[in-house]
């Protein structure tokens, strides 16, 4: 989809909800659970939203209810400023308690919500895709599995081509995350139920972060070599042979015939030149096929209903069994080297300049698969990136935007940085405060992924046990645009003791 048209162009990345002008977008805070306006129950400044790119947004609502109102799990939640929908999600957890030990007429209700991306957590995908772009795969999964929940694909970019991918009973969100890791793109389901799948630079922030703008506070820049590598090893995957045909003879007794390699795929079974039917053991019913096999097991079994293969009897030759298959061998080890990365580190550090990393994943089947995974890891972790955190009260920034950050005193000069996380809360009366995290390179992963890897070092890692990724062609695309946004901040209300209501202006 061309940049600037359709949902991706204005929700939330264009001139829509997360870039609305001050005024209508900066006042009239409203929260709906289902069709009920629950704003009147909310504790003062108790609303907050935490957002993480390629992960789940969470929203916290603290309510004090005197009239018996009860929210329900699974209800849709909308947060609006004026007539602008800022955030949408689903009620996930609810905690009830009395507000005080001496009274039971007021109930405290803590509502925890997740964004609409969580809809993809509860649907499983069972598909094989070949020679499709990542965007085509996204659109097919949405149309087949998520459209019934109101998800549309208006913000999906095509992205790079993928030679083959197999998703076997995987959550749709896992499929999307795996495609994002391999392509370098990012995904989310926005507040209008529109899937966004986009590269860095697809959406530019409405303003830069620098000293002349004076639109930020509490900036902090972090630089680290954690997880950096310029030499990537991938160990543990099995190689797959070319098609092999093995010939075996009957003995009038055996129904099990062993192959030289564990079977990856059974292509054909013949007896004396006659083609036999074959199926997967434990999946297809006994008696439905003449022969059965299982992946990664050595040999095939004849169904008991079939006549035994006879041994040689005088001048009568033995029955001849021909098994054509592709087998597993290994484990496979591959190594990819970034010569520019080594040279850059040598120029700074001297010495070898090598940063080597070994990843073990026993689920990777085939050399091409292993190489593709190693290439993706080297692309993601083969650069030394910067991370910046800052606070701002200016409306307009959104998750997935690219913002120019110019803070030379913090060793960060005119860097285009991808906004990967935002924490939004209220202060004063209906004013928003944002804590923003942005990175200069590619998103390395969520905190959950980082700690999963950290605590599993030294042991075999199985990230995607049912996925097969053969080859990824990564495309680079740079889009530049400019926009002029005028933002003015509303004045916060000053509470007066004894006049303002409790719950709206607490002291």
Q: What is the mean pLDDT of the chain?
A: 80
Q: Is the pLDDT of residue 98 over 50?
A: yes
> How many whole angstroms separate alpha carbon 278 and alpha carbon 269?
7
Per-residue pLDDT band at 248 (split at 50, 70, 90): very high
The Cα diameter of the chain in Å comes to 112
* Model confidence pLDDT, tens digit, residues 379-406: 778 888 899 999 999 988 988 889 999 9
> How many whole angstroms separate alpha carbon 58 and alpha carbon 62?
13
* Model confidence pLDDT, tens digit, residues 19-66: 233 333 445 889 999 999 999 998 887 888 998 887 888 999 999 998
- Which pair of structure tokens corresponds to residue 76? 């849709």
- Residue 321 in contact with residue 247, Cβ under 8 Å? yes
Could you count the other beta carbons within 10 Å of the beta carbon of residue 502? 9
Q: What is the mean pLDDT of the segment spanning 215-229?
A: 90
Q: Which pLDDT score is estimated for 32? A: 94
State the residue for tokens 């069972």. 126
Q: Which pLDDT score is estimated for 53? A: 83
6-118, CATH topology level: Phage tail proteins - horseshoe like beta roll fold (2.30.300)
Q: Which pLDDT score is estimated for 363? A: 62
Angle at 167 between CA 163 and CA 170, to 5 degrees: 150
> How many whole angstroms separate alpha carbon 405 and alpha carbon 388?
9
- Residue 484 in contact with residue 7, Cβ under 8 Å? no
Higher pLDDT among residues 272 and 214, named by residue: 272
Q: Which pLDDT score is estimated for 138? A: 96
> How many whole angstroms separate alpha carbon 416 and alpha carbon 402?
6
Question: Which 8-state DSSP code applies to residue 28?
Answer: -
Going by their DSSP bridges, the two strands 320-337 and 244-249 should be labelled as antiparallel
Three-state DSSP class for 203?
coil
Query: What residues pair up with 210 in beta bridges, in sequence order?
Result: 406
The residues spanned by each domain of the chain are 6-118, 244-309
DSSP for 228-270 reads --SEEEEEEEEEEPPPEEEEEE--SS--EE--SS-EEEEEEEE
Query: What residues pair up with 359 in beta bridges, in sequence order?
Result: 234
Rg of the chain in Å (alpha carbons)? 29
State the residue for tokens 């097991």. 297
Q: Is the pLDDT of residue 254 over 80?
A: yes
Q: Is the pLDDT of residue 228 over 80?
A: yes
DSSP for 494-507 reads PP-TTTSPTTTS--
- Which pair of structure tokens corresponds to residue 392? 């701002």
Q: Which pLDDT score is estimated for 452? A: 40
* CA distance readout (Å), 387 to 197, 410, 414, 437: 22, 11, 13, 7
Q: Which residues contact 494 (CB under 8 A, 6 or more apart)?
A: none
Q: Which residues contact 438 (CB under 8 A, 6 or more apart)?
A: 387, 388, 403, 405, 417, 418, 419, 420
* CA distance readout (Å), 33 to 114, 115, 289, 457: 13, 13, 54, 43
- Which pair of structure tokens corresponds to residue 25? 């977008």
Q: Which pLDDT score is estimated for 463? A: 31
* The three-state (H, E, C) secondary structure of 326-393, written as one string: EEEEEEEEEEEECHHHHHHHHHHHCCCCCCEEEEECCCCECHHHHHHHHHHHHHHHCCCCEEEEEEEC
- Which pair of structure tokens corresponds to residue 265? 């795929």
* Model confidence pLDDT, tens digit, residues 62-75: 999 989 999 999 99
State the residue for tokens 């199926």. 279
Per-residue pLDDT band at 182 (split at 50, 70, 90): confident
Q: Which residues of 313-327 are buried (b: 16+ CB within 10 A; e: fewer)?
A: eeeeebbebbbebbb
> How many whole angstroms separate alpha carbon 120 and alpha carbon 128?
18
* CA distance readout (Å), 207 to 91, 203, 212, 213, 403: 33, 12, 11, 9, 7
Q: Which helix (H) or strand (E) holds 189?
A: strand 186-189
State the residue for tokens 């405060």. 433
């Amino acid at each position: 989809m061309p940049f600037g048209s359709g949902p991706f162009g204005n929700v939330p990345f264009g001139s829509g909800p997360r870039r609305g002008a001050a005024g209508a977008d900066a006042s009239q805070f409203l929260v709906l659970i289902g069709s009920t306006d629950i704003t009147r129950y909310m504790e003062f400044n108790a609303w907050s939203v935490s957002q993480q790119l390629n992960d789940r947004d969470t929203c916290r609502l603290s309510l004090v209810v005197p009239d018996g109102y009860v929210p329900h799990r699974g209800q849709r939640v909308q947060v609006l400023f004026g007539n602008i929908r800022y955030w949408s999600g689903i009620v996930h957890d609810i905690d009830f308690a009395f507000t005080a030990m001496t009274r039971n007429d007021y109930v405290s209700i803590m509502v925890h919500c997740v964004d609409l991306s969580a809809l993809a957590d509860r649907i499983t995908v069972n598909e094989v895709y070949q020679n499709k772009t990542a965007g085509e795969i996204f659109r097919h999964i949405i149309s087949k599995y998520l459209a019934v929940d109101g998800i549309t694909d208006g913000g999906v970019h095509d992205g790079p081509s993928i030679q083959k991918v197999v998703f076997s009973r995987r959550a749709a969100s896992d499929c999307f995350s795996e495609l994002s890791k391999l392509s370098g793109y990012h995904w989310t389901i926005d507040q209008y139920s529109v899937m966004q799948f986009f590269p860095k630079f697809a959406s530019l922030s409405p303003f830069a972060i620098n000293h002349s703008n004076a639109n930020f506070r509490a900036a902090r820049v972090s630089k680290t070599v954690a997880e950096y590598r310029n030499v990537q090893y991938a160990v543990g995957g099995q190689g797959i042979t070319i098609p092999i045909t093995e010939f075996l003879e009957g003995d009038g007794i055996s129904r099990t015939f062993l192959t030289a390699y564990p079977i990856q795929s059974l292509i054909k079974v013949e007896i004396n030149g006659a083609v036999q039917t074959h199926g997967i053991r434990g999946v297809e019913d006994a008696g439905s096929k003449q022969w059965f096999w299982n992946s990664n097991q050595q040999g095939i079994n004849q169904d008991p209903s079939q006549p035994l293969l006879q041994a040689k009897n005088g001048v009568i030759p033995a029955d001849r069994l021909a098994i054509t298959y592709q087998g597993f061998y290994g484990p496979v080890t591959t190594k990819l080297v970034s010569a520019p990365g080594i040279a850059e580190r040598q120029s700074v550090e001297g010495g070898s300049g090598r940063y080597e990393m070994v990843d073990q994943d026993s689920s990777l089947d085939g050399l091409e698969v292993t190489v593709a995974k190693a290439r993706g890891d080297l692309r993601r972790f083969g650069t030394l990136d910067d991370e910046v955190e800052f606070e701002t009260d200016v409306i307009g920034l959104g998750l997935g935007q690219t913002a120019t950050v110019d803070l030379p005193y913090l060793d960060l000069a005119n860097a285009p940085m991808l906004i990967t996380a935002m924490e939004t809360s209220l202060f004063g009366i209906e004013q928003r405060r944002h804590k923003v995290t942005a990175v200069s390179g590619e998103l390395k992963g969520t905190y959950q992924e980082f700690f999963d890897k950290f605590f599993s070092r030294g042991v075999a890692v199985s990230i995607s046990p049912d996925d097969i990724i053969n080859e990824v062609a990564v495309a680079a695309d740079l889009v530049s645009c400019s926009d002029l946004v005028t933002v003015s901040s509303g004045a916060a209300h000053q509470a007066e003791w004894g006049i303002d209501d409790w719950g709206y202006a607490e002291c």
